[in-house]
């Protein structure tokens, strides 16, 4: 079944460093989304990248999409302690309506 899988499962870095998280999926997609979740609360939508886009920026976030490799990456530059959260990639179900999430990457930014 179609599913986003994030890598690594957990990442610990120092404040100011860059954090890179990767996501792989299995089938063709129309778009891919990244979400952040703090302490088991609601998900915050970060960015949506469409299948005809290769790169997208939003503030300190940079998302890339490689449809030939069925993969995406999320880069957070100059990380801050407040970036500590779980990050999920999500893809819409092919021919359906649901959004499918991976298990997420847990990012820890140490001050």
In the bound state with other proteins, the residue whose beta carbon lies nearer, of 82 and 103, is 103
Strand extents, DSSP E, 1-111: 5-7, 10-14, 19-24, 31-37, 43-50, 55-58, 61-66, 71-76, 85-92, 99-101, 105-110
- Does 11 bind other proteins (CB under 8 A)? Our answer is no
Tell me the two tokens of residue 19.
Answer: 């954090």
Distance of CA 98 to the CA centre of its chain: 17
Site string for other proteins, 34-73 (x = CB under 8 A): -x----xxxxxx--x-------------------------
Size of the site for other proteins (CB under 8 A): 23
Q: What is the contact surface with other proteins in residues (CB under 8 A)?
A: 30, 33, 35, 40-45, 48, 88, 90, 92-93, 96-104
């Amino acid at each position: 079944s179609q599913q986003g899988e994030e890598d690594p499962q957990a990442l610990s870095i120092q404040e100011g460093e860059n954090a890179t998280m990767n996501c792989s999926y299995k089938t063709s997609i129309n778009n891919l989304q990244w979400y952040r979740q703090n302490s088991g609360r609601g998900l915050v939508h970060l960015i949506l990248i469409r299948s005809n886009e290769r790169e997208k920026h939003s503030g300190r976030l940079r998302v890339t999409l490689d449809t030939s490799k069925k993969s995406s990456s999320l880069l957070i530059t100059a990380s801050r302690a407040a970036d500590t959260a779980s990050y999920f990639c999500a893809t819409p179900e092919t021919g359906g309506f649901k959004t499918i999430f991976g298990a997420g990457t847990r990012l820890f930014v140490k001050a």
